[in-house]
Amino acid sequence: MTNKEIVYVVSDSVGETAELMVKAVTSQFNGGNVEIQHISYVEDIQDIKNIINIAKYSHSIIAYTIVIPSLKQYLDQKAREEGIIAVDLMNPLMEAFTQKFNKDPKHQPGLMRRMDDNYFRRVEAIEFAVKYDDGQDMRGIQHADIVLIGVSRTSKTPLSMYLAHQKFKVANIPLVPEVPPPDELFDIPRNKCVGLMITPNKLNDIRKERLKSLGLLTEANYANFNRILEELDYSEKIMKRIGCPVINVSNKAVEETADLILAMLKKRGVQL
């Protein structure tokens, strides 16, 4: 038997949590000469047998995060039989949750990793929405889950960000009579594109308020009623040409419009 100090970090998932905890403990002993050996994705009894056979011939401790009850019980039993110290890093806290909050654990390995993946997908979607906001880069149209089109002040940007927090990559394109729509709009599946419409009076009020907030005259062409009618007529023609679903956002909150968009796309067969 070697005198080398070893901690076997054992997990039925990646085992990053266990390794961090073991490193935190070893730091309290100035790191010592402890060697950490990582054994991940333990999934059956044979894996446990192999670990026990290795550990019993070394100067070692087993630190583990195993949430599958049968594997945990087998590891505890065999460790006791062989005189090996095996420390369960998760079960005491899981039992506390069960007792105090009256909830049962799922006993499924890898759930934290899935949560992390969801987090990173959300961050990626938010970065996508920022990069492809307001037609800054038309290449985003091809890679987006959802493409929003409409005239200025139809909530394209807030909708993009809200949907991004739901992990959808959204590009939004402003429709302006003087600027031809990008060819990419007509190349994507039309059921991934959503048109946003609004009543002329509502848009007029919104644009006037926007000009006021910027310290500009409300008589500017941006809020001119005839100009608004022209823009809305133009955008309607583009939406009909694409054949995309259209939502009137006049009296809808961003959350309500987002729910409608997802429902419409799902109904049209888009995988969300």
Instruction: Assess whether pLDDT exceeds 70 at residue 110.
Output: no
Question: Per-residue pLDDT averaged across 191-208, rounded?
Answer: 95
Q: Are residues 94 and 181 in the same domain?
A: no
268 in a known ligand binding site: no
What pLDDT, on a 0 to 100 scale, did the predictor assign at position 94? 85
Looking at residue 42, which CATH number applies to its domain?
A: 3.40.50
237 in a known ligand binding site: no
Q: Are residues 51 and 75 in the same domain?
A: yes
Beta-bridged to residue 208, according to DSSP, are: none
151 in a known ligand binding site: yes
Q: Are residues 43 and 132 in the same domain?
A: no
Instruction: Assess whether pLDDT exceeds 90 at residue 206.
Output: yes
Q: Are residues 34 and 54 in the same domain?
A: yes
152 in a known ligand binding site: yes
Question: Per-residue pLDDT averaged across 9-29, rounded?
Answer: 85
Q: How many domains does the chain have?
A: 2
155 in a known ligand binding site: yes
135 in a known ligand binding site: no
What pLDDT, on a 0 to 100 scale, did the predictor assign at position 95? 87
Instruction: Assess whether pLDDT exceeds 60 at residue 66.
Output: yes
Q: Are residues 55 and 183 in the same domain?
A: no
Considering the domain boundaries, does residue 11 fall inside one? yes
Instruction: Assess whether pLDDT exceeds 60 at residue 115.
Output: no
Domain boundary among 109, 139, 160: 109
Domain boundary among 109, 138, 168: 109
Q: Are residues 15 and 130 in the same domain?
A: no
What pLDDT, on a 0 to 100 scale, did the predictor assign at position 32? 67
**What value does the mean pLDDT of the chain take?**
89
70 in a known ligand binding site: no
Domain boundary among 88, 109, 130: 109
Residue 74, domain extent: 2-109
Query: Do 62 and 51 touch, CB atoms closer than 8 A?
Result: yes
156 in a known ligand binding site: yes
What pLDDT, on a 0 to 100 scale, did the predictor assign at position 112? 58
Q: How much is the pTM? A: 0.62
Share of the chain above pLDDT 70, in %: 94
Q: Are residues 157 and 208 in the same domain?
A: yes
Q: Are residues 157 and 50 in the same domain?
A: no
Q: Are residues 153 and 253 in the same domain?
A: yes
Considering the domain boundaries, does residue 140 fall inside one? yes
Q: Are residues 98 and 122 in the same domain?
A: no
Chain centroid to CA 267: 23
Closest CA to 21 of 56, 81, 61: 61
Which pLDDT band, with edges at 50, 70 and 90, does 161 fall under?
A: very high
Considering the domain boundaries, does residue 272 fall inside one? no
Question: Per-residue pLDDT averaged across 181-195, rounded?
Answer: 93
Q: Are residues 82 and 62 in the same domain?
A: yes
